[in-house]
Structure 1
Amino acid sequence: MSQKPEYQPGQFQWSFLLPQYWGIWIGIVFLMILAILPWAIQHRLGHFLGSVAFNNLKSRRKTTIRNLEVCFPEWTPEQLQTNARQVFIDQMIGIFETLNAWYSPQWFKGRVQIEGLEHLQNAQAEGKGVLLLGTHSTLLDAGGYLCAQYFDPDVVYRPQNNPLLDMLIVRCRATIYANQIDHDDMRGLIRNLKNGHAIWYSPDQDFGLKQGVMAPFFGTPAATVTAHRRLMKISKAAAIPLYFYREGDISNPRYRVLISPALEHFPSEDEVADATRVNQIIESQLRIAPTQYMWFHRRFKTRPQGFDKIY
């Protein structure tokens, strides 16, 4: 008896035509229509939808405000509210930017500037793979598209629970990224690093202490992943900070990609010191455009013994 072939990411299945998936197909057609709208309409819609989300997603709003309180104690209550609302607006605008990257990439022509590309090129010229240390930006895949104009990035991703949604996202991302690597595929990550690839990796979320250590983030202890240290020790890859963001008038935005020099003496023998160092890099990146970060994630979910809960 023949075995059913294993599902491959991005593979179409006839079951996707069943009624249970019709809502997603309708949604995709709607998103494609949104992608061809003029930017003047897109960013206004993003602003409107972001405000609606801020007003109605109470739990996410509360988490966002609390994160900003912890990380930017110098902000007044009015500044906290204004910036928290802008986080949701930037997220919604980022969805339109991602749709443009997927379906209307010509929109970005003449809007992108990169700084520090030589750091990545020098590492690859030495035969090294590159682990690009970045953040969960509200630009989403638009940020990947910005990078792809100058080099071939791989990306680490978490598969979607809905198989149709996963197929659609994988296919859209295939136009941007050279390779998409499942976050559980450590062998694939190491193999691509050993082969000299540049891989975008974001070590900026709380996955508990089974996968990390406590290290200060904006002065507050936070569970910080350390998996990238093992990846680098095995692959001998270079660690290079990467950041991208939107700047200028929202009606006519520009985009910048910043690539910093490779970290020296990294990883060290001290995983807490390494985690602290990476968190400091992320802090400096986020201060450039604070609201273009997904602050609605519970970054301080894990607390050290004896410390009060933040949420």
Structure 2
Amino acid sequence: MSKKHQYESGKFYWAFLHPKYWGIWIAIVFLMILAILPWAIQHRLATLLGHLAFNGLKSRRETTIRNLEVCFPEWSAEQVLENSKQVFVDQMIGVFETLNAWYSPQWFKDRVTIEGLEHIHQAKADGKGMLLLGTHSTMLDAGGYLCAQFFEPDVVYRPQNNPLLDMLIYRCRATIYKAQIDHDDMRGLIRHLKDGDAIWYSPDQDFGLKQGVMAPFFGVEAATVTAHRRLLKISKAVAIPLYFYRHGDIRNPKYHVLIEPAVEPMPSEDELADAIRVNKIIENQLRIAPTQYMWFHRRFKTRPEGYDKIY
């Protein structure tokens, strides 16, 4: 149950018919209509909305530009600007891809390939749970849907503050994921891992040093979470890198799921070494499709004494 409100995630309550929720119901109907539009129209709308977001969201725009300047020093100022704009476009494309996954999944038929599925099968054969180390992709739940075509993933999620929105998103995700685990439910997360589940987990954001260590990310020291080490140790699960991305002609896109061999040993006796390895895995993933990542998060916001400020 969410700590944000008293309602249970995924459950309908008659209170949701109160007039204060009517705006959300109308918005949901509108989004369902968007999901059945031809891809050509969805793409044009996403491009327009992406440009509007880039121009209108000053703080997010500046953070994105700064992140790309820091992580891709080989890019010129023009390349940084163009790729920053594309991050916002890809985010909006990801919204439409997620709507398609929720309401019009047949759109993905014959568009998805996978590499490395044998690593999932091997972990299952060994009776191991799997912590799938991924990223905060702009594809959102569309990525989960791609994975669900080949195996049953779980997802760690943060309940929405609005209970109706939380119920609607939870139900949409229920068609994709085997289980949805509240990010505060560590016991539930460990239980699912012990049961042999494959859980999509993204250790790629800055949560300060109470939950991690400083480790290089694209050559720059960044606060790196290490909670997954404890999860792996307690559950005896394996850490398997997972990445998915869009490629090919945007007018007729294809999607690829990349699963890499389990990281061994993980956890090791060295917390910093583990953080460095995980950051390098994520870095290599992001270099495949750099703009399909949420660069508008302040990845380098934690700067201990002696470290230069990034933002």
**In which range does the TM-score fall when normalised by the shorter chain?**
over 0.9
Residue 73 of structure 2 is matched in structure 1 by 73
Deviation at 1:292?
Answer: 0.1
- Residue by residue, what CA displacement relative to the aligned partner does 1:176-228 show, whole Å, maximum 9, x if unpaired? 00000001101111101001000000000001111111111001111111110
How well do the aligned residues superpose, as a CA RMSD in angstroms? Answer: 0.7
Residue 218 of structure 1 is matched in structure 2 by 218
Using the alignment, how far apart are the partners of 2:25 and 2:303 within structure 1? 41
Q: Is residue 294 from structure 1 mapped to residue 294 from structure 2 by the alignment?
A: yes
Deviation at 1:12?
Answer: 1.1
- Residue by residue, what CA displacement relative to the aligned partner does 1:23-68 show, whole Å, maximum 9, x if unpaired? 1111111100000000010011101110110011111000000000
Residue 184 of structure 1 is matched in structure 2 by 184
Using the alignment, how far apart are the partners of 1:92 and 1:236 within structure 2? 38
- Runs of 4+ in structure 1 displaced over 2 angstroms? none
Residue 110 of structure 1 is matched in structure 2 by 110
SS in 2 for 1:242: strand
Deviation at 1:18?
Answer: 1.4
Question: What are the equivalent positions in structure 2 for 1:68-107 lying under 5 Å apart?
Answer: 68-107=68-107
Q: Which amino acid aligns with 2:186?
A: M
Q: Is the 8 A contact 1:221 1:304 kept in 2?
A: no
SS in 2 for 1:272: helix
SS in 1 for 2:83: helix
SS in 2 for 1:180: strand
Q: Which amino acid aligns with 1:74?
A: E
Question: What are the equivalent positions in structure 2 for 1:42-53 lying under 5 Å apart?
Answer: 42-53=42-53
Question: What are the equivalent positions in structure 2 for 1:86-235 lying under 5 Å apart?
Answer: 86-235=86-235
- Residue by residue, what CA displacement relative to the aligned partner does 1:269-295 show, whole Å, maximum 9, x if unpaired? 111110110000000000000000000
Deviation at 1:308?
Answer: 2.1
Q: Aligned pairs, how many?
A: 306
SS in 2 for 1:87: helix
Deviation at 1:232?
Answer: 0.3
Residue 3 of structure 2 is matched in structure 1 by none
Using the alignment, how far apart are the partners of 2:35 and 2:246 within structure 1? 18
Unaligned runs of 5+ in 2: 1-5
Using the alignment, how far apart are the partners of 2:32 and 2:253 within structure 1? 21
Using the alignment, how far apart are the partners of 2:247 and 2:305 within structure 1? 41
Q: TM-score, normalised by structure 2?
A: 0.97
Deviation at 1:260?
Answer: 0.2
Deviation at 1:304?
Answer: 2.2
Q: Which amino acid aligns with 1:148?
A: A
SS in 1 for 2:64: helix
- Residue by residue, what CA displacement relative to the aligned partner does 1:214-246 show, whole Å, maximum 9, x if unpaired? 111001111111110000000000100000000
Residue 255 of structure 1 is matched in structure 2 by 255
Identity across matched positions, percent: 80
Deviation at 1:21?
Answer: 1.2
Unaligned runs of 5+ in 1: 1-5
Using the alignment, how far apart are the partners of 1:83 and 1:193 within structure 2? 37
SS in 1 for 2:73: coil
Using the alignment, how far apart are the partners of 2:262 and 2:160 within structure 1? 32
Using the alignment, how far apart are the partners of 1:188 and 1:146 within structure 2? 24
SS in 2 for 1:114: strand
